[in-house]
Structure 1
Amino acid sequence: MQGFGILASAIVALIVLAAFRSAIIEDVSAVDYCWRIVLGVGAVPGLLALYFRLTIPETPRYTMDVEYDVNKATNDITNYLQTDDSRDENDGPGNHVDVPKASWSDFVSYFGKWKNGKVLLGTSMSWFALDIAFYGIGLNNGIILSAIGYADTHEAEMGLRAYNSLKNMAVGNIIITMLGTVPGYWVTVAFVDSWGRKPIQLMGFGVLTALFIAMGGAFNPLKEHSLPAFIVLFTLLQFFQNFGPNTTTFIVPGEVFPTRYRSTGHGISAASGKLGAIVAQVGF
């Protein structure tokens, strides 16, 4: 869904700019209202997600592994699969499963074992490496927007120049997203179960490595003498980021950890990614 989120944000920006066109041309400070509205609209999906996360029932796996209630977990599965409302006669608490309770000492004990710790290390470093590339690529968006004719404009009147420049950026980002980001996500959706998470992630990192070497080694010649080739390589980067680690790094941490540490493991992995984003922005 991240690809659709990126696409939706550009569309919302375009709509808001169109609504404020006259105000921006008359007074460029009206742009201040635009970015506030765009950010506010972006909070709506987050609030909807928060509502559903607070109201949806717990999964049977959580009920069994964290609440230790096997009967309730069994009944939840049965009620979901059956069309009637029949319940097992033993639907009260009971048959507790013997699973360690989440605690700091158990966390250290569990991830202190190499066979478990290496999984957390792998998901964290994968996300860290990905976000260095992901946010590093974003620094070159201006070059691509300029190459496809959606860069800043040069009108004499400041308000008109601001409006046209922002509109061009929004349209250009829609084009970039549709070229590589959204198709990459959908190809992943098509193959993630049949091909598998690990092969897709390894393939994605491998292809991205080759593309980065090619673009890094010939960055200036490509930018100055062969912009079409630069655009093609950039599009392939976007595609294989999303048909690859930018999807699997989200999926894998949600599947490989025990229930009691699934959120913790996913959170540590995601935080490692944000550290990579900081490295990309500060280092490059």
Structure 2
Amino acid sequence: MSEYANKRTRGAFIAAVFAMQGVGIIFAGLVSMIFSALFKAYFEAPIYSKDKILSTQPEGDLLWRLVLMVGAIPAAMTYYWRMKMPETGRYTAIVEGNAKQAAADMARVLDIEIIAEQDKLAEFKAANNYSLWSGEFFERHGRHLIGTMSCWFLLDIAFYSQNLTQKDIYPAMGLIDKDVAMNAIDEVFQTSRAMFVVALFGTFPGYWFTVFFIEKMGRHKIQLIGFFMMSLFMFIIGIKYEYLKEENKNLFALLYGLTFFFANFGPNSTTFVLPAELFPTRVRSTCHALSAAAGKAGAMVSAFGIQYYTLKGETKKIKTAMIILAFTNLLGFFCSFLVTETKGRSLEEISGEDGRESELTATPNDRVSGTRQDSRTEKM
């Protein structure tokens, strides 16, 4: 999407692609709720029993398998549509060096004839023919790569640890029956319902606030605000955990929802957008993949570090973990200064492929004057 979109709408388009994750989360909750409701009706299982746990193990086993298999349908559709999608003109021209094919592909998309200029393309390619592991790459883009990788890593430590308080927050919000034994099907239904409500009112709006405001506020500002607000809310939850859980459940729910909101109207979206814009076409996907891989490393730290530490659900450990996560977000806030704003600039200008100096080596005056586009990059 970053290579298809123009510079005025590129951020919103990339954020919209990522925001479909929020739509997927909503539908995932609906699928689980619908299947578990059907199972409850079919097997005539009561919602709960106060004196014993009801056994519906065979039906519960079938339930989660069916819900999992439903995920194969959108996966197959995605694969089919991606196979039908042409490669971007930027990749075909700059990486493969085939101006004629790039012009043909772009003509299919734009429905107009584009003149292929192989000589100019060869000159352009020769001027930017440095590898990912070269000194020139790290001189021009090394700081950006460290920034995108570290921010995504730190974000995912906190993002995948947000379920630490679920055992207390869902009953506090009245979304799960407290101190009541449930059978497997009831547990799936109530947990799916709780996650659906949180996603609908916390997670989902955050994604689309990013889509609507990213071209007005910029990626960098949204990321800074998101990290800071996540740090603030997690710190408050960690310090006042017993009070919130026992005496102010509404505030507990509000802080929990706002943490999800600012994760998505913040670094969870922008750490996806920025690596798609900061790097040259030749290594854009690779640098994006390295950044995403750093994020999954953060998810592993969350699963085997933070969540393992709080496995028994002790309040003291949850409080400590939330304070640690608050400082993790604060570190992400400061690492965000390793990346730069990309709003309103062409991909070639951002990466320095158009012959201008890159953001890392340009003087402040160059950066100001660089906002003016020549005729070759204006349309990109």
Q: How does 1:1-284 map to 2 (within 5 A)?
A: 1-21=20-40, 22-23=42-43, 25=45, 27-82=56-111, 88=115, 96-98=121-123, 99=125, 106-109=131-134, 113-151=138-176, 161-284=183-306
Judging changes above 3 Å, is the alpha-carbon distance between structure 1 residues 66 and 112 closer, same or farther for their aligned structure 2 residues? closer
SS class of match (2:191): helix
Deviation at 1:113, TM superposition (A): 2.0
Deviation at 1:11, TM superposition (A): 0.4
SS class of match (1:68): coil
Deviation at 1:206, TM superposition (A): 1.4
Deviation at 1:161, TM superposition (A): 2.9
Deviation at 1:96, TM superposition (A): 4.3
Judging changes above 3 Å, is the alpha-carbon distance between structure 1 residues 237 and 46 closer, same or farther for their aligned structure 2 residues? same
2-structure distance, mates of 1:43, 1:61:
32
2-structure distance, mates of 1:79, 1:73:
10
2-structure distance, mates of 1:16, 1:202:
40
SS class of match (1:107): coil
Structure 1: gaps (5+ residues): none
Deviation at 1:231, TM superposition (A): 0.7
Which moves more between the two structures, 176-185 or 143-152?
A: 143-152
1-structure distance, mates of 2:135, 2:75:
32
SS class of match (2:279): coil
Greater fraction of residues in helix: 1
Structure 2: gaps (5+ residues): 1-19, 46-54, 307-380
2-structure distance, mates of 1:135, 1:235:
15
Q: Deviations over 1:139-197 (max 9, x none)?
A: 222322111222256667xxx63322221111111111111111111111111122211
Deviation at 1:217, TM superposition (A): 1.7
Judging changes above 3 Å, is the alpha-carbon distance between structure 1 residues 13 and 110 closer, same or farther for their aligned structure 2 residues? farther
Letter in 1 for 2:248: S
2-structure distance, mates of 1:263, 1:184:
25
2-structure distance, mates of 1:165, 1:80:
48
Letter in 2 for 1:196: G
1-structure distance, mates of 2:71, 2:140:
40
Deviation at 1:130, TM superposition (A): 0.8
Among all aligned residue pairs of Structure 1 and Structure 2, give the percentage whose two residues are the same amino acid.
37
Deviation at 1:54, TM superposition (A): 2.2
Judging changes above 3 Å, is the alpha-carbon distance between structure 1 residues 11 and 108 closer, same or farther for their aligned structure 2 residues? same
1-structure distance, mates of 2:127, 2:36:
52
Judging changes above 3 Å, is the alpha-carbon distance between structure 1 residues 9 and 224 closer, same or farther for their aligned structure 2 residues? same
2-structure distance, mates of 1:186, 1:197:
14
SS class of match (1:261): helix
2-structure distance, mates of 1:19, 1:246:
34
Which moves more between the two structures, 169-178 or 107-116?
A: 107-116
CA RMSD, 1 decimal: 2.7
How many equivalent pairs are there? 276
Query: Which stretches of structure 1, 4 residues or more, deviate above 4 A after TM superposition?
Result: 93-96, 100-103, 152-156
TM-score normalized by structure 2?
Answer: 0.66
Letter in 2 for 1:250: F
2-structure distance, mates of 1:123, 1:204:
15
Instruction: Verify the 8 A CA contact 1:10 1:170 in the aligned structure 2.
Output: yes
Instruction: Verify the 8 A CA contact 1:63 1:73 in the aligned structure 2.
Output: yes
Match of 2:347 in 1: none
Which moves more between the two structures, 48-57 or 228-237?
A: 48-57
2-structure distance, mates of 1:153, 1:218:
21
Instruction: Verify the 8 A CA contact 2:276 2:288 in the aligned structure 1.
Output: yes
2-structure distance, mates of 1:130, 1:46:
26
